[in-house]
A = this chain, B = another copy of it.
């Protein structure tokens, strides 16, 4: 997507073989890139959320394997790099998927060809992801088009966290249909949950939508239920970090609360996801490990002070502890539909099987 008129992806290799990413910890106030030179740097970028979002985490891990091959293409070193990258974030299943795909591509390749193959495979993962997100956008657009036809006013769509192009390589998952609707001239307005504690909605989704010119309003995570009660939300679209074979959606913490409110008010609730986030090995989302992050993400808030500098301020008393869990699970019963690159299906085993009949274990 475009930033100040220039088209960008979130990750790309440079001429010298390093991997360039947008430093998302500095958004929305500074748009800057970082060059990753090693697999360790790639792992640190994932862990510190310089890059984040299920799809981009996978793409960065894939490039991390290419950087590992560049420094030492031996099996031992690649094993070590894959383990390190896998350990960065426990909840997203894309990470494991991308690392598995890289390992398979490299396993059958002689060491002296591995660097070339690794970069090629990482690029293929990125290109495929862009194409998947584009397809998700097209399938989601048909839902927006249908709802818009009956609404007679700009369609109000609520989203939680950031599942836009910054969370992917391009287009995004939850936001792809919104970009396509906006570009097609369908009037849409987005309610952006600020998404505490890391404020990815306020910082990243608002930045993305603003840069693309999509009308939007930032709201506290607490407000969405009230807006639904008053008929001011026509649709919810969120992303998914992991989706089980039975359709449970594990996404940024707070998603479950919005799904409950959507159900209570008859608002359609969709999760948009590429098939790489599907975990066919799990039925129940309650088996998904939930990442616990540092309490300082909650006790401190980072933003731009009156003098224009980025600063962190503490908002919790010194003696109080805090708990910071990153995800929750929305049971399939609350999900109106899953928007995938192959189409829209019910959030059920049968629904997913209808789109992915070839997956073993999906039957």
Interface residues of A (CB under 8 A from B): 28-29, 192, 194-197, 199, 202-203, 206-207, 209-210, 216-226, 229-230, 252-254, 256-258, 260-261, 264, 286, 290, 298-306, 310-317, 319-325, 327-329
Contacts and interface: CB of A to CB of B under 8 A. Distances in A.
Given A194-B315, A206-B320, A312-B305, A298 B219 contact: yes
A310 B314 CA distance: 9
A256 B300 contact: no
Given A257-B260, A260-B264, A264-B260, A195 B210 contact: no
Contacts of A286: 229-230
Contacts of A321: 216-218
25 contacts: A29-B314, A196-B196, A196-B222, A202-B299, A202-B315, A203-B315, A206-B320, A210-B317, A219-B322, A219-B323, A220-B254, A220-B324, A221-B222, A222-B253, A223-B253, A223-B323, A223-B328, A225-B254, A257-B258, A257-B260, A260-B261, A301-B303, A303-B314, A305-B314, A306-B311
A6 to B, nearest CB: 17
Contacts of A195: 222
Contacts of A220: 196-197, 221, 253-254, 298, 324
Contacts of A199: 315
Nearest to A327: B226
A319 B196 CA distance: 20
